[in-house]
A and B are shown apart, each in its own frame.
Chain A
Amino acid sequence: MPRWLTSGRVFWLALFAVTWALSTWSFQLYKALDARWIIRFPKKWQLELDGAISGFLIWLVEDAGFYLFSFKDLTRAMAALIEAPYQFLRNLLIEGFSSGYGETAVQLAPSLSWIAIIICIAAIGLYARDWALAALVGCCFLYLAVFGQWHSAMITLASVLIAVPIGAVGGLFLGIAAYRHPWVDMALRPVLDLMQTVPVFAYLVPILILFGFGPVAALVATIIYAMPPMVRITIVALRNVPDEILEAGHMAGCTQRQIMWKILVPSATPTLMVGVNQVIMLSLNMVIIASMIGAGGLGFDVLASLRRLDIGGGIEAGLAIVLMAIALDRASQAFSERKYRVRKSGNLIQRYPLSSTVLFFAIATMILGRLIPAVQTYPEALTLTTGPFWAGAMEWINVNFFDTFEAIKLVILQGLLLPVKKFFTGIPWAWGIIATGLMAARIGGWKLGIMAMLMMGFIAASGLWGKAMVTIYLCGVSVLIATIVGIPLGIWAAERPKAGKVILGLMDTLQTLPSFVYLIPVIMLFRVGDFSAMIAVVLYALAPAVRYAAHGLGDVPEQMIEAGHMAGCTKRQILWRIKLPLATPQLLLGLNQTTMLALSMLVITALVGTRDLGQEVYIALTKANAGKGIVAGLSVAFIAIIADRLVNALARGQRKRLGI
């Protein structure tokens, strides 16, 4: 083959030119040739997978059995296993323990008082690090009481307290199994890949069908959503235990079991705690989504306010989730960084001062609460509400800046969003599959090319081509903007340590916010539509772009920079000639993360009226159409997997070229 044909630039130019031409004239082409299949996937070739899946689920629930018990019994048993501890926690935190039902119920013991709970959480903060952390988490919880979010917050806390241990321990055991047996690892890997890329909405429906509407279904969904990172982190953490420590264990004569529980797991604990932190954050992230299938609490409040367009209520409840997320995040992070301390000696109270304090306050407030109700439950008369304030603020902004916002919106819509949308939605499906395949083959080899073509083919055959293109367009534009904004921010953070601290801190906080929260202000300001969706996605997906850029630049070896200085580079030359090229693999990894987050957020923005795959999944959820939801969810996952593999292949190529 002649050299000019194989050279990269020609290939990409040609690919783009053909795609652009076909996209622009596909409609004319169809008219001229009278070939409707060019723009629409032929009906008779369509896969009817959604019907099959729905049918299978119905069969599972109604007829399936394992000799002794039916499938339904199995799900009921699982539900009961989750229900019991959950109810216990609800009693402990909210309702109190009682025997009997309805009118005849007799209260045996009240729930923990709000004071006892706040002291308990502060004590955890103190135990994990210091007084500052104790004050922070205590104040976060105090906010919940003072601003009237206590009841909902405790419902949310109860579900988090159930989901986190199950998710963490389950993840740990799966991770251990995968560490020990390669075949478990092989089997788990694709499942984990799918779990992390299939939008949550997609498996809400099957769970809804299997477990029925209610807190248990919500817990199951939360656990499924929050467990995969724990599995991954466990595998990595166990593999990263230094060989020598493992050998020291063998030489000490440990059995297999002792190696695992006395050597591997304790040595890996700091990393494992990072996994637990992830599980907590993901569980909180699910709070709002899970309330769609019956979890009450703060998530339900947010969702209800959003539906009512009650600005103040939404922000208040959203803020409560954010504060709870921050408190739990900081506390669990402190645990993973916690240093081992010298054990105290003495009697029980001296050895466990914090536990005894908490216990003391729990009992004291319980007794006092009988006499003074305000000790038991935060008095309603003293609650503050910021709802009207937020509503007023939003109104003021809308009144005074409406035109500005509209202008910005219009410019970006006309100048960027619509042309890109037209380009993507115009691509005929057949060429789209071929082009994706060519692109993937070029970047990652023919195997990746074939995989990409099969996945795109599945999307087209499911009749979702148009919506998939809208997804790609929205995601692409959002990632582009997030990168354009994020990388300079990251560079700034790396170059100026002081600014960096602020920027990275802000990004950390942004990442702890449940994705739903981003929607609230955006809808308030820009109303529903593609533009609002894009803003929310950009906000949500910004953090990794910033962070990886900052880390990538920070990781450039000092020697290289010194070599640059000695070669007489200006500051600008050092940045452009030395730091950025060396940081490209990291920048690409950031791009990858940004893309993944953007895709997961896109599904949520379906609530604000985008016409993409997310909408498809969401409609399936509201209609409880399991098959449709799963097929659309799989399509999103396929797009995510293709994007992930492509960017990773790029990063790998780049690293190889740089010899890192």
Chain B
Amino acid sequence: MNTTTILECRDVWKIYGAKADSFLTHTPDPQKGDLRKHNLIGAVRRANVQIRKGEIFVIMGLSGSGKSTLVRCLSRLVEPTAGEIFFEGKNLLSMNEAELIHIRRTKMGMVFQQFALLPHLTVLENAAFPLDVQGIDKVTREDRAMEMVELVGLKGRENNYPRELSGGQQQRVGIARSLVVEPDLWFLDEPFSALDPLIRREMQDEFMRLQNMLHKTIVFITHDFDEAIRLADRIAVMKDGEIQQVATPEELVLNPATDYVAEFTRYVSRSKVITAGSVIQPLQDGTFAGTVDHKQLIDDIASQIEGANAPYRVEKDGEVIGQITRQAVIDVLVGRA
């Protein structure tokens, strides 16, 4: 196993229906029709993903695509029907109750779509809850929880009850609670889907700010492709329980593996995904208006290149690998590339 892989799942299945368990032993390689014939639903079908340390891994799919079930398999909130899941090299599925509880208490955190705050506890008590169940004394746990509450910008609201907060604030509490144990692996299950578009945007920024400080390994679920490309290092696109493609946002847009992925990426504003390195042309003689890095997004450099009357050099690791012209940028912006 790759040393930087923190969570890996191999051939994970989750099948719902009567006799779901014995089905896979009879039919090791079922097709869609087989499941339907037996009145079974394949919520997750042979999922293989590796989540690397420190990356934001987004699982993207529409409702019913199995993304929520998959993340629940990864955290073992749902028992997979078949397959293996390794967390830091240890088999998560063979752990007993106590080991699992220990892992969750120390290494995992999760944020939920509907916030899942406990209505009878204050903001501070909610944030301190994971420490409370570990039996940590009140002063220590509330100190730690207070740090988290401050981190998510809710200082001053710590004695309020969840129902007194707005949706965005409630989700901040959810985030504080999931971070209080300083987890290595952070699950976020559609954390911003229940929020208004403007608040959602604000929370995404907040999330990126936190990630830049904390550098967690993140599994992020969303049904919003724009959100996915905004946040993700890598994206897994799911449909009907199957992972269609795992790739960086740029690869998804440039080389969609299936028609379904292509359909999704068609209306994406490509300049926000495509980097300078993807549209370089061979270096030609002549004057250059400047130099850009190959990783820069077209969106970020568009105005400067358009404004100049000569092409830009494109650099990779300090070495010039080609040039980028005004025409190439415009092609990306209007969707010709």
A244 and B118 contact, CB distance less than 8 A: no
A251 and B108 contact, CB distance less than 8 A: yes
Shortest beta-carbon distance from A128 to chain B in Å: 16
- The answer to whether A247 and B133 touch (CB under 8 A), given A252-B104, A253-B105, is no
> Which of A251, A255, A267 contacts B75, CB < 8 Å?
A251
Stretch at the interface among A184-192, A258-266, A308-316, A491-499: A258-266
> Which of B119, B133, B161, B177 contacts A253, CB < 8 Å?
B133
* CB-nearest residue of chain A to B183: A251
Stretch at the interface among B109-117, B205-213, B295-303: B109-117
List the B side residues contacting A248 at CB < 8 Å.
110, 112, 116-118, 177
Complex-state Cα separation, A267 to B114, whole angstroms: 15
A247 and B112 contact, CB distance less than 8 A: yes
List the B side residues contacting A262 at CB < 8 Å.
129, 132-133
Complex-state Cα separation, A248 to B108, whole angstroms: 11
Complex-state Cα separation, A455 to B200, whole angstroms: 60
List the A side residues contacting B115 at CB < 8 Å.
244
Is B337 among interface residues, defined by CB-CB distance under 8 A?
A: no
Is B120 among interface residues, defined by CB-CB distance under 8 A?
A: yes
List the B side residues contacting A342 at CB < 8 Å.
159
* CB-nearest residue of chain B to A263: B118
Is A340 among interface residues, defined by CB-CB distance under 8 A?
A: yes
List the A side residues contacting B4 at CB < 8 Å.
none
Shortest beta-carbon distance from A274 to chain B in Å: 15
Is B241 among interface residues, defined by CB-CB distance under 8 A?
A: no
B102 and A251 contact, CB distance less than 8 A: no
> Which of A245, A255, A256 contacts B118, CB < 8 Å?
A245
List the B side residues contacting A269 at CB < 8 Å.
120
Is A250 among interface residues, defined by CB-CB distance under 8 A?
A: yes
* CB-nearest residue of chain A to B163: A339
> Which of B116, B117, B133 contacts A258, CB < 8 Å?
B133
List the B side residues contacting A608 at CB < 8 Å.
none
Complex-state Cα separation, A262 to B121, whole angstroms: 10
> Chain A contact residues: over half helix, strand or loop, or mixed?
helix
Query: Chain A, 308-348, contact with B by CB distance < 8 Å: what is the 0/1 string?
Result: 00000000000000000000000000000001101000000
Most buried by A among B105, B116, B130: B116
Query: Chain B, 117-136, contact with A by CB distance < 8 Å: what is the 0/1 string?
Result: 11111100000011011100
- The answer to whether A253 and B110 touch (CB under 8 A), given A242-B116, A267-B118, is no
> Which of A247, A253, A340 contacts B134, CB < 8 Å?
A253
- The answer to whether A247 and B116 touch (CB under 8 A), given A253-B102, A253-B105, A253-B130, is yes
* CB-nearest residue of chain B to A247: B77
Complex-state Cα separation, A269 to B118, whole angstroms: 11
* CB-nearest residue of chain B to A254: B133
Known contacts A244-B114, A245-B118, A251-B187; can you find 9 more A-B pairs with CB under 8 A?
A: A245-B116, A249-B133, A250-B77, A252-B130, A253-B104, A253-B133, A254-B133, A262-B133, A266-B120
Binding site for B on A (CB under 8 A): 242, 244-245, 247-256, 258, 262-263, 266-267, 269, 339-340, 342
25 CB contacts below 8 A, A to B, read: A244-B114, A245-B117, A247-B112, A250-B77, A250-B104, A251-B104, A251-B178, A252-B129, A253-B101, A253-B130, A253-B134, A254-B133, A255-B97, A255-B133, A256-B97, A262-B133, A263-B118, A266-B118, A266-B119, A266-B120, A267-B120, A269-B120, A340-B119, A340-B161, A342-B159
